[in-house]
Structure 1
Amino acid sequence: MARTRARPTLPLLLALVAAVIPGPGGAQVSIQLNEAILPRGASLRVNCSSSCSEGLSLGLETQWSKVELERGHNWKLFELSDIEEDSNLMCFGNCGTVQSSASATIILYSFPERVELDPLPAWQQVGEILTLRCLVDGGAPRSQLSVVFLQGEEELHQEKVGVNSTNPKEITTTVLASRDNHGANFSCRTELDLRPQGLEVFLNVSEARQLRTFDLPGTSPKLNSPDLLEVGTRQKVFCYLEGLFPASEAQLHLELGGHILTSNSTNHGDLVSATAEVDVPAELEGTQPLRCVLELADQNRQAEKTLHIYSFSAPVLTLSPPEVSEGSQVTVKCETHGGAQEVRLSGAPPGPPSPQVSFTLNASADDHKRTFFCSAALKVAGQQLLKNQTQELRVLYGPRLDERDCPGNWTWPEGSQQTLKCKARGNPSPKLTCSRKANDAPLPTGVVMTVTREMSGIYVCQATSSRGNVTKEVSLTVRVISGPHINWVILVITLLIVLFVGLAIYLYNRQRKIRIYKLQRAQEETMKLKAQAPPP
């Protein structure tokens, strides 16, 4: 509590505060005070005097301790000490056998011993009424004492303490809590206004108390996560709530199966969110609750959903052996481990559902790079989950020169650009060469060539690998275009060009003559009009 006092700017000398009662022969008793208002516990000098000239006896009647300081023929000066409350003084004088008196009132002032604002609630809900209570203990005169409630430096409410109030006195006012009040400092101040007595206004201020307000929506947080979690995987779960205040004060955490997850919380505006990366452990397999708990002030909001945690291993697909020679047997087997009860294997004969399926085949060249597909199924919470495995079979076989890959007859026009497309199959890949049967002249494959008539003939293509070799004859025919035929083509083309050029010249000259004719007719019409026009 801070106190501010002002010293009197002008001492008040009460020259006469008395009810004067005349004595015999017009004698009067008077009382003089040096101050009209005093602080509690102060001392006061009082002068009692009388106009009586003979047989005078003066005295002062008071409840306080007094000491006579000085006296004269018809006056006495007293000092009173430890004055604790307002009271009346009376000077009396006996002049002969007649007594007269004069009285005065002492007014005391004191500052409140305590000005305290009641503690505020730890949190106040936005939109609810907050009651501020200021306790004022002591202070006088009460009729001139008032209480002011403050928010920061802003005055909210002022009220008189009251003359008949109890001591201590509780003064109250109300505030409608809002988001703007969050972090605001509230206090109360007493004002003892002694200006009517020639003094100033004395202030006492309580300690400030900070208010924290909060606002929460009626909705629960929103949870975002997969319904199914697989053991051994890493999954992300997300929770958020918007419309709360202050978001920076909110605490948000995630729990899975009763274990608090390590999460990263963020807030922006009136939204708070939390994200957690979950490494799904085997001990949580089964049905587990995922909870999101938000705490703000003394309130909390929760959201919960049920997750199904499962173990599901991929099926095992084996080819035994994975690489075989043509004509050898291969065993293909698909089996599951863990919770899956059924597997399917491509190429296997139909049969009842089983956790293991296998069959045997005689590998052929067509089985080289054949892909086998193995699938396992697991049902979790009404959903069917699938996991697959694939594996490729490698078959070793000798070279092949089939008609589909290397046609036996080719016919190319002379002078054209052509490519001999002849491929050999085999594992390992064979080396292919093609040469003329008559003179071993090479004919490259896969290369663009200009066809000449000399390329005609029978070629032998040979494919060779570590598993053997194979040959195939290829017939190449070059279609030759004769000389006279070419001349006739050139002649026809030339005639067509000449006819086109001649037609273009004819049409151009015809259009030019038409334009000249139209121009002459226009000039003649103009001359006629000029001749027919009357002279000016």
Structure 2
Amino acid sequence: MGRIISSVTVLLLGFVTSKAFDIKITPDYNVPAQIGDKLELTCSTTGCESPSFSWRTQMDNPLGGSVTNMGSSSILTMDPVGIENEHEYLCSACCGSRKEERSIRVDVYSFPSDPVIEISTPLNVGEKANITCMVPKVYPSERLKMQLEKDGSVLGMKEFYEEGSTITTETKSLTLTFIPTFEDIGKAITCVAELPIDEMEFEPKKRQTSQRLSVNYGPRNTTVSVTPSTTVKEGGAVTMTCTSYGNPSPKISWTKHSISGESQFLSENATLTINNVKAEDLGLYECEGVNQFGREKKTVDLIVQVPPQNTTELISPSDNVDEGENITIMSTTYSNSPPQTVPQKIHPSNTNILSSQNDTSTVSKNDTGIHHETGNNNETRNNTDVIEITVVEMVKETDFVIPVIVVLSCLSTVATPALAILVYRSRKAKINGSYSPVNAPKPNV
């Protein structure tokens, strides 16, 4: 009876042992491995204290790795992973008379870095250049897709499936000819590369690189700002600031062009300040932006308000005239802003302002005296010149003609009747033979 129990126990232990012996490989599923990385495949057993392990490929190719056995597990290490490691691997474990096998598929790929953007020459506005997007060490390269974008707009794309498969990593590229414009300044060029292998699970399958376009161009949009304004009073201050855009940044210079046509270099600073402005600072100021791709100029006309100076007068016919004559006062004065000349007569009690510059008027004896010719403008002070005019008073002569005529008229009224009587008496005397005025009888009147 005891022998029967012992036999049953042995059989049961054997059954339990055989059922407990198992094998597995981790990772559980097919393994994507990037070329150049390190990969470990672990084969482990349960239900056996001292299993024996062996590794091989499906086609009995070299393992391309090293095996390490540690108790109930065995590790196949591939460091680094190469294209030769792309196989189906089998792990065999034996425990006594039992043998178990498990397989795992290793698929390799290479997509190790982001694309690289290269530009053949410096980008100059209006000049051709090549932009190249490169993807280094890619595998399988025939599965690669690439495209170039500018600010989200596709410039070009390329797929490499037509080039066929290879057994090595390759660098693939996409090149486009590009003519930059001013509108491209500062825009982003992006290279997008994809390795869309659906049967393999790895990340990332998409990589991209962006680069801002650095486009060279000559100076443009050159401007000059003037503070406080382009018109400044003598003795004041003015600041002129020049701004010019270009790549590389333009070098600024200031030049003054005088009225005579002469040019004078002033400064290489963007800001030009003139303190205590003088009359000779008036003129045309030129700001110029320069780089190796061109130059651009901007000018500003600086007006300096100078008070009227050197006011002079010309009196015609002279400053000594007879009363009743016409006299013309012609005034000249210097000022870079058109002055207004106001003739004034100075009198102890009041000042008379004449009509206008170059005033012509008929003088009287009251015009004798001192006159001021004042040149002024609205922005600056006045300048005055003094002249003195002498008016000779006209002497009036007595008129005797009218009294004589009046007397003669009165006498004629009396003389006419007397003359008539005298003629009558004379005729009568002739008739009588003699006549004497003395002895003639007085007429009865």
TM-score between both structures, scaled by the size of structure 1: 0.36
TM-score between both structures, scaled by the size of structure 2: 0.42
